[in-house]
Amino acid sequence: MSAAPAPLAVHETAIDGLLVVDLPVHGDARGWFTEHWQRAKMTALGLPDLGPVQQNVSFNAAVGTTRGFHAEPWDKYLGVATGRAFGAWVDLRPGPGFGRVVTHDLRPGVAVFVPRGVANAFQTLEPDTAYTYLVNDHWSPDAAYSAVALGDPDLGVPWPVPLERAVLSDKDRANPPIADAAPVPPLVTIVVGANGQLGRALRASFEADAAADGSAGAIRFLGRDDLDLGSADAVRSHDWSGVGTIVNAAAYTAVDAAEGAGRADAWAVNATAVAALAEVAARRRMTLVHVSTDYVFDGLRHPHREDEPVAPLGVYGASKAAGELAVRQVPRHYLVRTSWVVGDGPNFVRTMRRLAEQGVDPAVVNDQTGRVTFADELARGIRHLLDHHAPYGVYHLSNGGPVVSWYDLARQVFTATGHDPDRVRATTAADYAAELADAGRVVAPRPAHSEFDLAKLRATGFEPEPAADALRRYLETPR
């Protein structure tokens, strides 16, 4: 083995997510050496970050030893340490790829990443073949998995050693044909905070797709009665088995109340519970989507970029910033900051429409600027990040269009609902706070500028809808 080894490379196959890896093998008179798993190099080439927790070795003395097809509920990264084998895989995930077959020779210098839901099998071609594999969940004798018959003619696997002469277990001989095999259910996505403005928008988005493709069982929605985010213990003790993604749409958002009586609740929901969710997601290798806010900034710099240091002005912003720190520790996370959310529930736009209809001429702050984010647009952006497997990290998400003040937005609502926009009076944030303070109410400090730089989000292929168009459609929707 004196020639220069082939370079490390990752190759796609006909089965989605099943990847073949060429491993450089270095050899001399002593033997050979290869890096079977090298996280940094391999993930840089597109191999998923496996996160192995267990390594198994199967030693096979006889040529023709055949094992499979098994689709265990975990990812697998496999190869042979000595000898040679014939590998075969069948996609048992629901969808157009169900039943698709891929085969490949296995020898030192070749590894294969097998995603959850793809059934794995191999047949030894040399005596004393040692087959080794890493998995990202602990093996259990109680683990349930789907299996399919090795010799099913509908699969047409060209086994080098005919199965009638191969060495098989009785259990593998009894596996069902592909026509009777149970598809491997997909990992579930859970939406926490399903009854809030964003939660309802996410429910509408996911349920519309589920009705079209039959994937309703892959989505679950948890309201406060299902999971109390005021209790970190409730988060940790919840049954998260079979869950692949958590979308945290819940938050304590009573900004002014957080400065007083709601302080403990704000920290419990926005920080402590989020840390518990992050702990669960990291331990179980889940994807965590967490929604944060422009209130983590002081508003002195704008537009806000994702890498701007947080500098919250009040309790609400501080509690959300603390939650962000926990989320950032999850390897697979999308931290989505948003601003001025409007959806199905009490919000500024609905308040302005009601005041216009009631003949009230409101005084509205004109020195706080930003962009409104309609809940359905926020849901669309979150779905985009997930569905397009965007790089993990922090993203700013709002509707597009010009930056406006709350005063500008109020005038837009009056105009769109057929009322005189000049009825809206301008005031400053300081004067508004002083007026409420005279009435005995506490007003939390708010960032003067909330507009986001949306370039990072746009780079993923997502184009935010202009806020003016979304506002028009929102106001035309029957209440």
Give tens-digit pLDDT for 343-367.
998 999 999 999 999 999 999 999 9
Q: Which amino acid is at 366?
A: N
**Cα(253)–Cα(229) distance, rounded to whole angstroms?**
13
pLDDT at 311: 97
pLDDT at 3: 63
> CA torsion, points 162, 167, 168, 173, in degrees to nearest 10?
40
Instruction: Tell me whether domains 9-180 and 188-476 share a fold.
Output: no
**Cα(243)–Cα(343) distance, rounded to whole angstroms?**
27
Q: Which amino acid is at 448?
A: A
**Cα(49)–Cα(94) distance, rounded to whole angstroms?**
23
Ranges of residues in the chain whose predicted pLDDT is under 50: 1
Tokens coding 162: 């005919």
CB atoms within 10 A of CB 208: 9
pLDDT at 201: 95
- 8 A C-beta contact, residue 199 and residue 249: yes
**Cα(212)–Cα(407) distance, rounded to whole angstroms?**
41
**Cα(320)–Cα(255) distance, rounded to whole angstroms?**
11
In CATH terms, 9-180 corresponds, of 2.60.120.10, 2.102.10.10, 1.25.40.20, 3.10.20.310, to 2.60.120.10
Q: How many residues does the chain have?
A: 479
List C-alpha distances in Å: 56 to 26, 74, 169, 290, 354: 24, 14, 18, 35, 65
Q: Which amino acid is at 94?
A: P
Phi and psi at residue 462, to the nearest 5°: -100, 125
Phi and psi at residue 12, to the nearest 5°: -75, 160
Tokens coding 397: 């998400």
Domain boundaries, the chain: 9-180, 188-476
In CATH terms, 188-476 corresponds, of 3.30.565.10, 3.40.50.1000, 3.40.50.720, 3.20.20.140, to 3.40.50.720
Catalytic residue, from 70, 104, 145, 384: name it: 70
pTM, to two decimals:
0.82
**Cα(261)–Cα(46) distance, rounded to whole angstroms?**
49
Known catalytic residue: 70? yes
Catalytic residue, from 77, 131, 133, 395: name it: 133
List C-alpha distances in Å: 164 to 65, 67, 159: 11, 14, 11
Cα 315 from chain centroid?
28
pLDDT at 136: 87
pLDDT at 1: 47
Known catalytic residue: 389? no
pLDDT at 180: 94
pLDDT at 321: 98
